[in-house]
Amino acid sequence: MTHEQIIDYCLKKKGSYLDYPFDPIVPVVRVKSPTQDKGRIFAQIFHLRGERRVTLNCTPESAEFYRMLYPGSVVRGWHCPPIQQLYFNTINLDGSVPDDEILWMIDHAYEVVVKKYPKYIQNEIHMTEA
């Protein structure tokens, strides 16, 4: 998958939007409700040593599952502090992980982030037009 395909897919999610909080060339996709000022990041798109990568939120269980399934291609969130690495996977976009698996991981990342919000904000997000 390309970075553009990932961004396009992420932006179809309700309440999602593109942001550049770290660097003007490192896009992230956040999700927020209509009543919030800032959303939470669920996807970070970047290059690392010339290779396309994406970092996605996850649960510790799904993180470990995908790291075992795709060793070397799915790793702990490389830029995250050690305590947060359990909750982020960085995926190499070199074709070693099938596109449908990446799409599932994006769906999962979105749901993980949405579930961190209180129920009333989750309801606002789900009522938002995509």
Domain with 57 in it:
3-127
107, burial (CB in 10 Å: exposed 0-12, middle 13-18, buried 19+): middle
Quote the mean pLDDT of the chain: 92
Report pLDDT digits (tens) over 34-78: 887 789 999 999 998 899 999 999 999 999 999 999 999 999 987
Average pLDDT on 5-9 reads 98
pTM over 0.85: yes
Half-sphere exposure in the Cβ direction for 29 (13 Å, CA): 28
CATH number at residue 37: 3.90.1150.30
Separation CA 116–CA 52 (nearest Å): 28
Report pLDDT digits (tens) over 68-104: 999 999 999 877 766 777 899 999 999 999 999 999 9
Q: What would the two tokens of residue 71 be?
A: 């060793």
36, burial (CB in 10 Å: exposed 0-12, middle 13-18, buried 19+): middle
The total number of structural domains in the chain stands at: 1
